[in-house]
Each structure stands twice: as structure tokens, then as C-alpha cells.
Chain A
């Protein structure tokens, strides 16, 4: 999926989204997962929050982060991307087979 390759930019943010899609995590729990400061993780969360990819709520002294998506519809979207990818490949295969010179 050529568009996805562009997404590989920031592994930490990608990982935060993947984790918080499955379970709510506190910022401090997330901070323990990565070799960086609490403040750095908080900054990543703020970027994701600004893009509405995660939501944050308070529980006492904790800040809890959740992936802000309907997982099923996103899952359907990923399968749609796979379909697009393979339709492109099948089209190219068809062209190669139609090219009698090869």
C-alpha cells in the first residue's frame, strides 16, 4: 500500500494510537512503554489529540487516553485499502498477460 509507507514517519505515535484503540491507557502508563520522558510522550498525545485521533479524560490525577475511532469502521477502511491495492495489482497482471510479446 504505497500510501501507507508515508505513514511510517513516527513509530511512537502510531504505537500510541494502536494501543489506545484497544484499551484506555493513562499517559503515565504510556510513558513507561517508550524510552523517552513523560513530557515527550505527553507531547505526542497532544499532537494526536489535536488531530482528533485520540481523546483524553481525567480520572483523579490521571489522564486517560483512548483511540478516538469507531474501530469497526476503521477496520472496514483497512480492508477497503487492501481491496484497492489488489485491484491495482490485478489490473497490472491483466495488462502483462494481454501483452503477447512477453
Chain B
């Protein structure tokens, strides 16, 4: 497994995950810096990402959309805060509306990426994800809860659907 450490802290609202890859630091950096490579891993298989704009400079924006199994296309953005290739990247990740405009009513997270090449040529990648405020975290919690409710309702629908057609 390439994940070497995970640390979670509800007080500071952060999750830090560290991984090691058998590749030089410049190669790992390309996964962030090249939009075609970024879209191969940013979205989960059920929601593959398409990177629309990619300006990886302080103040720059990365815009992306993800395509869901039902054709839904949630959009997100990065607002780039700091870049020091190939070692450091910091950005705000948030939700955007259908036109790609950041939605200020939705929670954001701040993501800090640190890449370090080890003596053996492997690269260590540490990702620190933080909710900027208790409110942002509460919003995300609420979203997860509503999601749970939606799932419960669809399960009931499934039960009713199968119950009506016994073999």
C-alpha cells in the first residue's frame, strides 16, 4: 500500500494523509500540473473528472466538472493560493454552479500538498485537507446527513419495487 500515514483531528478540522510513490518528484508533480493527468485520478470511477480550465499560478483557477452515472455534472473549482513547483501546492476546493461560478453557499476545503523526494528516489506526498471553519464542516456534515436520508428513501423505493413483483 502506498498510504503510509493518516491523521485526523476534529478540533482543527483536518485530515492529513501521507503516501509514497516509486517515482521522482517531478513525475508526481505532473499529476497535478498536467490537466489531462489530473482528470485521470481526481474523480472517482463513478464520477470521472473533466478539467475545463487549469491555471496553476497563485490567484489562478482550476475549473472542473464530474460526470455522474445519471449524466449529472456537478462542478467544482480550485482557487490557487500558493505554488512552488515541484514541491508545494495550496488551494481552496469548492463547489461551483452550472456556469462554473463558485457557489459561496457551499462548504469549501483548503488543501495543502507537499511533495518530497526521498534519498532512495521515491516521492513522499502529504495532503492536508482542512475545513476553514466550523460552519463549513457543519455544512458538509449536513450534506452527508441529507445524503444518508436520500439513500434510505431510495432503499425503501427499491424494497417496494421488488416487493410488488415476486417471482
Q: Which residues of A are in contact with B by a Cβ distance under 8 Å?
A: 2-11, 13-15, 17-18, 21-22, 51, 53, 69, 71-72, 74-83, 85-94, 96-98, 102
* Given A80-B8, A93-B31, A97-B27; A7-B40 close (CB under 8 Å): no
The answer to whether B21 and A82 have CB atoms under 8 Å apart is no
Q: Decide: A76 and B8 in contact? CB cutoff 8 A.
A: yes
With an 8 A cutoff between CB atoms, is B74 at the interface? yes
A-B contact pairs, 26 of them (CB 8 A): A2-B46, A2-B66, A7-B144, A7-B146, A7-B150, A8-B95, A8-B143, A9-B150, A11-B105, A13-B146, A14-B139, A15-B139, A17-B145, A18-B139, A69-B145, A78-B131, A79-B13, A82-B15, A83-B6, A86-B127, A90-B3, A92-B41, A93-B28, A93-B41, A96-B37, A97-B21
Instruction: Give B34-69 interface residues, CB cut-off 8 Å to A.
Output: 37, 40-44, 46-47, 66, 68
Q: Which 5 A-B pairs have the closest CB atoms?
A: A7-B147, A92-B41, A17-B142, A18-B142, A2-B47
* Interface pair B141/A78, CB less than 8 Å apart: yes
CA distance A72 to B11 in the complex (A): 9
Across-interface contacts of B150 in A (CB, < 8 A) = 6-7, 9
B120 within 8 A of A: no
A5 and B10 in contact, given A89-B42, A90-B2, A94-B2 (Cβ under 8 angstroms): no
Report the bound CA distance from A85 to B76 in whole Å. Answer: 15
Determine the distance from Cα of A76 to Cα of B13 in the docked complex, in whole angstroms: 9
Interface string of B102-142 (1 = CB under 8 A from A): 00010001000000000000000101010100110111111
Contact A3 B40 (CB under 8 A): no
Residues on A with C-beta less than 8 A from B95 are 8
Nearest CB of B to A64, in Å: 18
Task: List chain A residues, Cβ under 8 A from B149.
Answer: 51, 53
B78 CB to closest chain A CB (Å) equals 14
Q: Please indicate the chain A residues that have their CB under 8 angstroms from the CB of B85 in the complex.
A: none
B130 CB to closest chain A CB (Å) equals 10
State in angstroms the CA–CA spacing of A84 and B104 once bound together. Answer: 25
The one of A53, A85, A92 in contact with B145, judged by C-beta atoms closer than 8 angstroms, is: A53
A7-B145, A14-B139, A22-B134 given; 19 more Cβ-contact pairs under 8 Å: A2-B46, A7-B146, A7-B147, A7-B150, A9-B150, A14-B143, A17-B146, A22-B138, A78-B140, A79-B14, A85-B44, A87-B3, A91-B2, A92-B40, A93-B2, A96-B41, A97-B21, A97-B27, A97-B28
Say whether B17 faces chain A, with CB atoms less than 8 Å apart: yes
